[in-house]
Chains A and B, each alone.
Chain A
């Protein structure tokens, strides 16, 4: 079974631009979560989608948004990029429930100049 895939793997943007990251979950997984990883703040939960609906949300500004499609693929969007948005963005998928194991993708490394 193929793992979680994220595209692109690396991205360079400038301040003020917007960016869209994509995540394809493992086949059969209906829940997709997004996390931001930075050296200073560590791993922080952004949001989780299940059956095309946002089920959980972390404490990030409204510039961070996401969506999920009917095939469970998910995208996250960051508008008006700031230098502090430079991070590794990780996507994780699981079947559906709290006790199901989350499988992480390799991440998208975003650099904001």
Chain B
């Protein structure tokens, strides 16, 4: 079984500051890793995903994440945030080899960008 822990439930940050949202996972098998964003009253949108290869993954809206296998982490970073980045962010995993690829989500991190 897999589990995902997002270490911060809320992250307040000022506009143009850097931000890191932390994600750790636990799994007895290999997994794929994902970050999704959810804006108010909307569904989830994929920011980026790690399937294999380079451990540094670049996504949309200037976000990137680094897969660290030894620390079982997949932290999300952005060097300079905007007010429009205010949203809830979810880290998720799916089991490699599972045909359907069901996603196991963390509890979410609410990013609040202040002017």
- Give chain B residues whose Cβ lies under 8 Å from the Cβ of A107: 43
> Would A98 and B100 count as touching, CB distance under 8 A?
yes
Number of A-B contacts (CB under 8 A): 65
Is A25's CB within 8 Å of the partner chain B?
Answer: no
- Give chain A residues whose Cβ lies under 8 Å from the Cβ of B104: 45
| Size of interface on B: residues with Cβ below 8 Å to A | 27
CA distance A97 to B95 in the complex (A): 12
Is A99's CB within 8 Å of the partner chain B?
Answer: yes
Give the distance to chain A from B6, nearest Cβ to Cβ, in Å: 10
User: Which of the candidate stretches B11-19, B44-52, B67-75, B77-85 sits at the interface with the other chain?
Assistant: B44-52
> Would A55 and B44 count as touching, CB distance under 8 A?
no
A92-103 CB mask vs B (1 if < 8 Å, else 0) is 101001111111
Q: Which residue of A lies closest to B45 (CB)?
A: A104
> Would B100 and A55 count as touching, CB distance under 8 A?
yes
- Give chain A residues whose Cβ lies under 8 Å from the Cβ of B102: 33, 45, 48, 56, 58
> Would B45 and A31 count as touching, CB distance under 8 A?
no
Q: Is the interface of B mostly helix, strand, loop or mixed?
A: loop
CA distance A48 to B100 in the complex (A): 7
Centre residue among A55, A98, A101 by max chain B CB count within 10 A:
A98
Interface residues of A in 39-98 (CB under 8 A from B): 42-45, 48, 50, 55-56, 58, 90, 92, 94, 97-98
- Give chain A residues whose Cβ lies under 8 Å from the Cβ of B101: 94, 97-100, 102
Of the candidates A33, A43, A45, A92, the one whose C-beta lies within 8 Å of that of B90 is A43
Residue ranges of B at the interface with A (Cβ–Cβ < 8 Å): 32, 36, 41-46, 49, 51, 90, 92, 94-108
Given contacts A45-B104, A90-B43, A104-B43, 11 further A-B contacts (CB under 8 A): A42-B108, A44-B105, A45-B103, A50-B100, A56-B99, A90-B44, A92-B43, A98-B95, A101-B46, A102-B101, A106-B41
6 closest A-B pairs by beta carbon, nearest first, are A98-B101, A104-B43, A56-B100, A43-B105, A104-B44, A48-B100
Residue ranges of A at the interface with B (Cβ–Cβ < 8 Å): 4, 31, 33, 35, 42-45, 48, 50, 55-56, 58, 90, 92, 94, 97-107
